[in-house]
Structure 1
Amino acid sequence: MNRTTPPRPVDIAAVFPQLAPLARPAIRLHPRPGSPTPHDSSVGGPLLWPADEPWPHCEESHDQMNDLYEAYEVYADEDYEWQDGPNPLVPVAQLYVRDVPVLRPPGQADVLQVLWCPFEHEPDNKPPTALFWRSSTEVADTLTAPPSPFAVEYDGYIPRPCVLAPEQITEYPNLMDLSKELQQQLGDWNNWQAVAGAVDSSRAPHPDSYYGSELSVAPGWKAGGWPRWGLTDPISCFCTTCDARMVPLLQIASCEWDGSNTGWVPYEDRELMSVDDPDVANPPKVQISRSNRLQLYVCPQSPDHPHTDLIQ
């Protein structure tokens, strides 16, 4: 399975050379429903988890969330019975470095595993995440039946198993990450005249929004690249261990595309754009805090330092 992002309609770095040194590689993950194995990169799939290693749990108390049971659609099996205490984490993504080379693993590690508690926690109202790096060659026996969470806040925090079609692209900063001078230049239609034939003249009143939606940051699940902003202005994250400025690791998205960025829809999915089905643009069926994105950040000095995350 391949997914191919159409070339950007404008070589934006040729029109605005100041952007060239700001280019970053990103890997679009393109999760699509499938049957991944522990030896595959996946979203919501089984993890290559050692049989003799304890499964991670959320250690925060969930007793206050029992009051929300009737207000939310809670996932449970026939034997469901509310219980306080540690809640087993849910697999969100497993990424092998062979598939996602923008990752920066420590030592001999070659696989990143991302899990979360399927409840939004205060004060930021987002699911707390846990990252694990490991070497696939050191896992002899794999855990075949990891524990399930005793409940989740709603189904959007249980990703549907998806295989991936990683694709490397080039991204440029979100408009709000640029200097005021460059923002003004991007907002002046006169500066776009060299490529006016390639850009619909209807973009003339707001060419900077065209840059933001179609030429800079890709939507959907991705590793590396630049972050999208919207709920807030750009937020700089700093490592709590060494104070280094943290860099984007992974974007967990509530949709692969929407009406504002259809230019990013892969060729292979073009015929699906007219289908009236929300799952078409959201194969993993993940919903992050009212259809937002969860951005994970890591320290560039050491993958062993604590990560952080933001909702956007």
Structure 2
Amino acid sequence: MSRTTPPRPLDVEALFPELAAYRGTTTRLHPRPGRPEVTVSSVGGPLLWPAGEPWPVCTEPHSHAHGRRPADIHRQRQILTAAWLRDPDTGPTDEERRLLEELGRRHHAHDAAAADPLPLIGLAQLYRKDIPDLPAGPDGCDLLQVFWCPFDAHGPSGHGMLLDLRWRRSEEITDVQTSPPRPRVVGFEGYVPEPCVLHPEQVATYPFAGLLPKDLCARIDAWEERLEEEAEQWADEDAAAVVGYQYDLSIPPGWRVGGFASWHATDPSPMDCPACAAPMHLLLTIDSSEWDGGSGSWKPLEEQGLPTHRFARPTQVTVGRGGELNVFTCPQEPCHLHRWSIQ
């Protein structure tokens, strides 16, 4: 079933005609639980990886012997989902609670040395044939595959993530790896995605307000302040429906490809290519949820009647404390190293 973004609550270009010059597009991926095939775009699904090619690994030395087993994480989620569908008021049975507690335990892989290569988790694969806003890869590559390490133990601070992007030509792969290596334990369950099929939808988008010309940004801020002042005179339930540029009119939430990055958690930061200094473009946004619990104006029309708390996190991926990861690429040379920002 396709997913359709509702019309925006207001025509933002009618309010601010200058925005027409900055309009862009982004492809909302709309991941939903399913059983994706290796030949389609997916999150957490099987990857089109050559059988004879080594699986990507993390080679940065760090402890990875203590954590949760991926199979336990998947099973725990299955039990919780089944309990919610059965009766959202009573929740899991006593026996299920006992099992959930057991599955939630951390384990120790005694023979896992810090210097041993650690298999990365295959997070997603995206085909250009499926995703309108996915740019061409280097040398005509049509398939982007995204991996990450399941431990926050990288970089100078020793608490950063490790992301690995691979481009390839899908038509060159005939013998597919069917049993890729997996990490025995993971440091954070938010790194373990649930298999999801995608329902790509291209929508209009506009830049983060702080990156617009100062006079236009100031007018948008003043408009939002007036709305907030008016909302203070309304009943509480009406105040929750106040429309804002950032959360309702410009940048969609959720997993998406292309468009503009949000800088709602930090000030905008220049994202220039470390190799050639070209201003980088947003390639991919990995989000912890598909829509928020506020106005929910981005919730697809097909899912308007579904509870937000159950259906807003189909991938079960969590970035940081529940934010989003924006991945940037060089528009001049896609083979240059990517950069990212957590918001």
Which TM-score band applies after superposition, normalised by the shorter structure? 0.7 to 0.9
Partner residue in 2 for 1:30: 30
Contact kept, 8 Å, 1:237 with 1:246, in 2: the verdict is yes
Q: CA deviation at 1:77?
A: 6.3
Contact kept, 8 Å, 2:224 with 2:245, in 1: the verdict is no
- Distance in 1, Cα, partners of 2:224 & 2:132: 39
- Distance in 2, Cα, partners of 1:116 & 1:254: 15
When structure 1 is superposed on structure 2, of 139-148 and 174-183 the one drifting more is 174-183
Q: CA deviation at 1:191?
A: 12
Q: TM-score, normalised by structure 2?
A: 0.80
Q: CA 1:12 to 1:59, structure 2 compared with 1: closer, same or farther past 3 Å? A: same
Partner residue in 2 for 1:177: 211
Contact kept, 8 Å, 1:102 with 1:223, in 2: the verdict is yes
Provide structure 2 residue ranges, at least 5 long, that are not aligned to the other structure: 73-106
Q: CA deviation at 1:200?
A: 12
Partner residue in 2 for 1:162: 196
Contact kept, 8 Å, 1:58 with 1:88, in 2: the verdict is yes
One of 244, 254, 258 as aligned partner of 2:288: 254
- Distance in 1, Cα, partners of 2:184 & 2:224: 59
One of 281, 306, 313 as aligned partner of 1:282: 313
* 1:33-77 CA distance string (max 9 Å, x none): 0001110100011100011111010111122x55xx3xxx52256
Q: CA deviation at 1:131?
A: 0.8
Q: Are residues 1:16 and 2:16 paired?
A: yes
Contact kept, 8 Å, 1:157 with 1:286, in 2: the verdict is yes
Q: Which amino acid is 2:11 matched to? A: D
Q: CA deviation at 1:81?
A: 2.0
Q: Are residues 1:74 and 2:68 paired?
A: yes
Partner residue in 1 for 2:120: 89
* 1:220-264 CA distance string (max 9 Å, x none): 000001111122111111111111011100000111111235000
Q: TM-score, normalised by structure 1?
A: 0.88
Partner residue in 2 for 1:263: 297
- Distance in 1, Cα, partners of 2:180 & 2:210: 42
Instruction: After TM superposition, list the pairs within 5 Å mapping 1:65-144 onto structure 2.
Output: 66=65, 69=66, 74-75=68-69, 81-82=109-110, 83-84=112-113, 85-105=116-136, 106-120=138-152, 121-122=154-155, 123=157, 125-144=159-178
Q: CA deviation at 1:202?
A: 3.1
Q: CA deviation at 1:101?
A: 2.2
Contact kept, 8 Å, 2:132 with 2:202, in 1: the verdict is no
Q: Which amino acid is 2:41 matched to? A: S
Partner residue in 2 for 1:151: 185
* 1:130-168 CA distance string (max 9 Å, x none): 111111110010000000013211211010000000000
Instruction: After TM superposition, list the pairs within 5 Å mapping 1:295-306 onto structure 2.
Output: 295-306=326-337
- Distance in 1, Cα, partners of 2:8 & 2:262: 17
Contact kept, 8 Å, 2:326 with 2:341, in 1: the verdict is yes
- Distance in 2, Cα, partners of 1:62 & 1:216: 40
Partner residue in 1 for 2:101: none
Contact kept, 8 Å, 1:75 with 1:154, in 2: the verdict is no
Residues matched between the structures, number = 298
Instruction: After TM superposition, list the pairs within 5 Å mapping 1:178-197 onto structure 2.
Output: 178-189=212-223
- Distance in 1, Cα, partners of 2:117 & 2:207: 39
Q: Which amino acid is 1:87 matched to? A: L
- Distance in 1, Cα, partners of 2:325 & 2:57: 20
Q: CA deviation at 1:187?
A: 2.8
Contact kept, 8 Å, 1:227 with 1:295, in 2: the verdict is yes
Partner residue in 1 for 2:47: 47
Local SS of the residue matching 1:309: strand
Local SS of the residue matching 1:187: helix
Q: CA deviation at 1:108?
A: 2.5
Local SS of the residue matching 1:263: coil
Q: CA 1:173 to 1:225, structure 2 compared with 1: closer, same or farther past 3 Å? A: same
Local SS of the residue matching 1:92: strand
- Distance in 2, Cα, partners of 1:204 & 1:264: 26
- Distance in 1, Cα, partners of 2:70 & 2:10: 49
Local SS of the residue matching 2:325: strand
Q: Which amino acid is 2:35 matched to? A: S
- Distance in 1, Cα, partners of 2:128 & 2:29: 12
Contact kept, 8 Å, 1:213 with 1:260, in 2: the verdict is no
Local SS of the residue matching 2:297: helix
When structure 1 is superposed on structure 2, of 178-187 and 1-10 the one drifting more is 178-187
Q: CA deviation at 1:266?
A: 0.3
Q: CA 1:204 to 1:248, structure 2 compared with 1: closer, same or farther past 3 Å? A: farther
Q: CA 1:81 to 1:213, structure 2 compared with 1: closer, same or farther past 3 Å? A: same
Q: CA 1:219 to 1:171, structure 2 compared with 1: closer, same or farther past 3 Å? A: same
Q: CA deviation at 1:201?
A: 5.7
Contact kept, 8 Å, 2:9 with 2:243, in 1: the verdict is no
Contact kept, 8 Å, 2:8 with 2:248, in 1: the verdict is yes
- Distance in 1, Cα, partners of 2:129 & 2:225: 41
